[in-house]
Structure 1
Amino acid sequence: MQKKVYFYATCLGTAAMQKMVLNSIKLLRAADVEVVFKKDQTCCGQPSYNTGYFNDTKKIALYNAEVFQGDLPIVIPSGSCGGMMSHDYLELFKDDVNYEKIKQFSSRVIELSQYLDAIGFKPVDKGEKIKVTWHSNCHALRVQKSIESNKKLLTSLSNVEVVYLEHEEECCGFGGTFSVKEPEISNAMAKAKVEDIIKSGASAVISADGGCLLNIAGTLSKLGYKDVKAYHLYDFLSARINGEKL
């Protein structure tokens, strides 16, 4: 696989998780990958798509196709955004004259762990022993199908014990606009997810989705579980291979 890529930071990455963006790029650099960062990149369009604004979403998709021209892989540290761009775009444009253009773009989209797995990246764990659990993001699980490669990276860390949640694949209640439209249901789902995390006995929960992590971390704090941390997979992985404390 080509070892020069475009890096797509995502909205949450640029707005709330800049450290995760930098750590993701550091991981690619550690794997001897040349990274091209387009400063005029924008949203994948998932919020407008999920709300039914399909024509507006098409404009965003076509903009992205113009920004990321060529044949380089487009690496994304989010299965949610990855699923939108690699799969949902195709559904959005299935009867559109721009379908082939979008198909070429979508075929190059790959989630970061999937890319690292494809090029044979093997992380060396330099961190202390720790027990963690894992949350599977819905869109990554069912659309981008990047959870297997996420877990492969996490479980390859020699000093990390991974214990799985009883209800690992159940939604945390974020769901983008769902958490705004249905706050009471969302809050109940987040509480159930946190109870599952606490029951696992892990000292940290890891996920590869920014929205889920913001929701879970906020609920952990609100319920008083301040000793249980929530880490993005790529922040966690970068710290482990560099022997750094989070």
Structure 2
Amino acid sequence: MGERSKPERPRVALFVTCLVNVMRPGIAEATRDLLVAAGCEVEVPLEQTCCGQPAFNSGDEMGGRAMARHQIEALEGYAYVVAPSGSCAGTIRHDYTHTFRDDPAWLRRAEELAARTHEITSFLVDVMDFQPARTRFAAKATYHDTCSGLRELGVHDQPRRLLESAEGLDLVPLPGSNVCCGFGGTFCVKYPAIANAVVEEKAEAVESTGAAILLGGDLGCLMNMAGKLQRRGSAVRVFHTVEAVAGRLGGPAIGEKP
């Protein structure tokens, strides 16, 4: 972190994301808990909606732009915007500025929002220099680097540093950890056969590690891998990184019944 000092009690907007809100709100709760522990004042803007990623991915530029305008207005006024998703944070940081490249007024607002938007593990480590409380969960785990977080935002070392706080958690390398899981947002809908072949290889790689737990930073990717692992009869359990850091590995994993 060098000589840079972390901000004092910044006002943070928690961008929950659609999948987390609908499929696993516990990820948002764990994210909130970690932000509070890091010294942030956390709010969940009720006006937030989809970031527009599915629209942009599908070529619906007008639809994505309309969502971008809404999000920019909803998230202005906060020191930071933090999401438990590299893909949603990446959309706000990159797609918004691209879609408004010919609209100076909205481009300025999009650039200001982009500069304040972070993926959760990157924010905790790079901005807040956060050292989480020591938790204990004895298990062997492996980590998948999701494409958007890794390639758009440079998220790699940050989650691994945070996971060091979990005593007894043996983090082993995942072969091809930087290779796509096959989800790819709308890619898995457009090209299901290719997506299935890709996630089959990912599941084999996960099982080859001997890990009992698979961790990652995007719920869409985690649901995709959890589903394939379960269909293969694998005992590997899948969690979001923030659930591990917040000491929430004792509950049902992704895809398991409560």
Q: How does 1:32-181 map to 2 (within 5 A)?
A: 32-97=39-104, 98-117=106-125, 118-181=127-190
- Secondary structure of the residue aligned to 2:136 is coil
TM-score (norm: length of structure 1): 0.94
1:91-124: CA deviations, max 9, x gaps?
A: 2211223211111111110111111112121123
1:40 maps to a residue whose letter is E
Partners of 2:76 and 2:195 lie apart in 1 by 38
Partners of 2:165 and 2:93 lie apart in 1 by 27
Residue 157 of structure 1 and its aligned partner are, at CA, apart by 3.0
Partners of 1:126 and 1:95 lie apart in 2 by 49
- Secondary structure of the residue aligned to 1:127 is strand
Partners of 1:89 and 1:138 lie apart in 2 by 18
Partners of 2:164 and 2:181 lie apart in 1 by 22
Matched with 1:190 is 199
Asked if 1 retains the 8 angstrom alpha-carbon contact of 2:146 and 2:217, the reply is yes
- How many residue pairs end up in the alignment? 242
Partners of 2:59 and 2:195 lie apart in 1 by 20
Residue 211 of structure 1 and its aligned partner are, at CA, apart by 0.3
Corresponding position: 1:213 with 2:222: yes
Which consecutive unaligned segments of at least 5 residues does structure 1 have? none
Residue 148 of structure 1 and its aligned partner are, at CA, apart by 2.4
Residue 71 of structure 1 and its aligned partner are, at CA, apart by 4.3
Corresponding position: 1:31 with 2:38: yes
1:131-180: CA deviations, max 9, x gaps?
A: 10000100111002222212221234332211111111111100111101
Which consecutive unaligned segments of at least 5 residues does structure 2 have? 1-6, 252-258
- Secondary structure of the residue aligned to 2:220 is helix
- Secondary structure of the residue aligned to 1:75 is strand
Residue 59 of structure 1 and its aligned partner are, at CA, apart by 0.8
- Secondary structure of the residue aligned to 1:130 is strand
Residue 2 of structure 1 and its aligned partner are, at CA, apart by 4.8
CA RMSD of aligned residues (A): 1.4
Matched with 2:4 is none
Partners of 2:153 and 2:51 lie apart in 1 by 14
Partners of 2:157 and 2:194 lie apart in 1 by 28
Partners of 1:143 and 1:81 lie apart in 2 by 11
- Secondary structure of the residue aligned to 2:121 is helix
Asked if 1 retains the 8 angstrom alpha-carbon contact of 2:8 and 2:39, the reply is no
**Residues 1:224 and 1:197: Cα distance change in structure 2 (over 3 Å):** same
Partners of 1:217 and 1:71 lie apart in 2 by 34
Residue 50 of structure 1 and its aligned partner are, at CA, apart by 0.8
Asked if 1 retains the 8 angstrom alpha-carbon contact of 2:146 and 2:178, the reply is yes
Q: Which moved more, 1:153-162 or 1:171-180?
A: 153-162
1:109 maps to a residue whose letter is T
Residue 5 of structure 1 and its aligned partner are, at CA, apart by 0.6
- Percent same amino acid at aligned positions? 33
Matched with 1:245 is 250
